[in-house]
A and B are shown apart, each in its own frame.
Chain A
Amino acid sequence: TQLLEQSPQFLSIQEGENLTVYCNSSSVFSSLQWYRQEPGEGPVLLVTVVTGGEVKKLKRLTFQFGDARKDSSLHITAAQPGDTGLYLCAGAQAGTYKYIFGTGTRLKVLA
């Protein structure tokens, strides 16, 4: 079974700070997605990266897929309290229709 390890597990920062969340695996994924989950709700897709080395930006969020398609990072610039939530990465296993989710990073941004 492929595993996706996320780090850090928990992150508490002040408003305005920058942060990076990592998602790592020893296996190759055909694509990787980042989701955000609010309490009491299901995850909501933020972005999908497909090509090794790909960088995507979504306002203050920057997502990168590793060159070897085994890892990804999420960078948030000038974090705001509205960014608080659980961030999950998810990889599509190459050659299958299965998805593997990371263990999640719980982010809290303090005003």
Chain B
Amino acid sequence: EAQVTQNPRYLITVTGKKLTVTCSQNMNHEYMSWYRQDPGLGLRQIYYSMNVEVTDKGDVPEGYKVSRKEKRNFPLILESPSPNQTSLYFCASSLNGGAPTTQYFGPGTRLTVL
């Protein structure tokens, strides 16, 4: 089954404790992206990747890191999480970054930073 998976689905952590949210897709997609969703703000793009070893900032990259060492994986790293990073996070992938293409979203990771 074609899908985007994220782990963990739920995470409660404390300020400053490094964490990684994994994202994997099995569709051989070139383009992958991370978004955060906050009430009243919609989805905001954090980082995206056009292909292996090619990443770029979205609109809200501060406090986040990403890497794309393999085509199927695109982990999101929070080196020193803060309470303002409490949010619902979505990973997405699409065939390529050239619009218009369908973005397929993962089920989301709900992160709480205390």
Q: Interface on A for B, CB 8 Å cutoff?
A: 1, 4, 6, 9, 30-31, 33, 40-45, 48, 50, 88, 90, 92, 97-104
Contact = CB atoms under 8 A, between A and B. Distances in A.
A79 B53 CA distance: 45
B74 interface: no
Interface in B1-49: 4, 31, 33, 35, 40-45, 48
A101 B58 contact: no
Contacts of A48: 99-100, 102
Interface string B73-109: 0000000000000000010100001111011011110
B56 interface: yes
A87 B4 CA distance: 21
Contact of B42 (A30, A31, A40, A88): A88
Interface residues of B, number: 27
Given A33-B103, A42-B105, A99-B33, 13 more contacts: A30-B99, A42-B108, A43-B103, A44-B105, A48-B100, A48-B102, A92-B100, A97-B98, A98-B48, A100-B45, A102-B42, A103-B42, A104-B42
B92 A42 contact: yes
B42 A101 contact: yes
25 contacts: A4-B42, A6-B42, A30-B99, A40-B107, A40-B108, A41-B107, A42-B90, A42-B108, A43-B105, A44-B105, A45-B102, A48-B99, A90-B103, A97-B48, A97-B56, A97-B97, A98-B45, A98-B48, A98-B58, A99-B45, A99-B103, A100-B59, A101-B35, A101-B44, A102-B42
Given A30-B99, A31-B99, A42-B108, A98 B59 contact: yes
B50 interface: yes
A88 B103 CA distance: 13
